[in-house]
């Protein structure tokens, strides 16, 4: 009986070892995105990988119970003419009307047959509203087309947490 238990124990040890090796080999890695901070009146370019609307924010607008934001996933976002890396992954956060400006531009591009990832140029600027003396943020965006080749993710942006 002791011999059989040893065989069972070694069999189970072998399975545990195989499972550990398999788990290590198939361990997922995630892309740690930078936060892309947009300044007013600076022209940017990069790839729009996609976006997720309806993310509840930490701050509320007066008179609203909650504020929803949009996370825009970018590749190589940078000021036009800068020498910044064209492969960094980042997230740009939009609030208020700028979310609608993005959604409208993306929908129009998709209606023209353009798919993600999209090559784009954009500008965040102030525009006068219909109410005299008031301004609001405007996201003006030109989507140039579908991108066939996506640059590899930089090694320092991978995380297995």
C-alpha–C-alpha distance, residues 28 and 93, integer Å: 26
- Residue 91's pLDDT is 97
Cβ atoms 71, 90 nearer than 8 A: no
Query: What is the reported pLDDT for 77?
Result: 96
Q: What is the pLDDT of residues 62-85, one digit of tens each?
A: 777 788 999 999 999 999 999 998
* Dihedral over Cα of 38, 44, 50, 51: its sign: positive
126 vs 22 pLDDT, higher one: 126
pLDDT at 141: 98
Residue 41: its pLDDT value, please? 98
**Mean pLDDT value across the chain:** 90
Sheet holding 89-94, edge to edge: 34-35, 89-94, 68-79, 43-56, 118-128, 135-146
Task: Please list the alpha-helical segments (H only) found in 32-129.
Answer: 97-111
Taking 80 as the threshold, does the pLDDT of residue 3 lie above it? no
How far is 11 from 8, CA to CA, in rounded Å?
5
Per-domain boundaries in the chain = 30-159
Q: Which of 27-41, 52-66, 126-140 has the lowest mean pLDDT?
A: 52-66
What average pLDDT does the segment 96-105 reach? 96
Beta bridge partners of 72: 51, 92
């Amino acid at each position: 009986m002791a011999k059989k238990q040893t065989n069972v124990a070694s069999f189970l040890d072998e399975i545990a070892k195989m499972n550990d090796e398999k788990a290590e080999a198939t361990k997922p890695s995630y892309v740690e995105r930078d936060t892309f901070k947009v300044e007013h009146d600076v022209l940017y370019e990069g790839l729009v990988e996609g976006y997720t609307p309806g993310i509840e924010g930490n701050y509320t607008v007066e008179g609203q119970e909650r504020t929803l934001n949009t996370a825009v996933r970018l590749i190589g976002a940078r000021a036009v003419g800068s020498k910044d890396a064209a492969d960094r992954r980042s997230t740009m956060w939009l609030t208020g009307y700028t979310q609608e400006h993005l959604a409208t531009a993306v929908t129009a591009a998709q209606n023209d047959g353009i798919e993600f990832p999209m090559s784009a140029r954009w500008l965040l600027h102030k525009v006068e509203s219909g109410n005299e003396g008031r301004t609001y943020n405007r996201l003006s965006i030109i989507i140039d087309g579908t991108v066939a080749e996506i640059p590899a993710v930089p090694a320092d942006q991978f995380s297995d947490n």
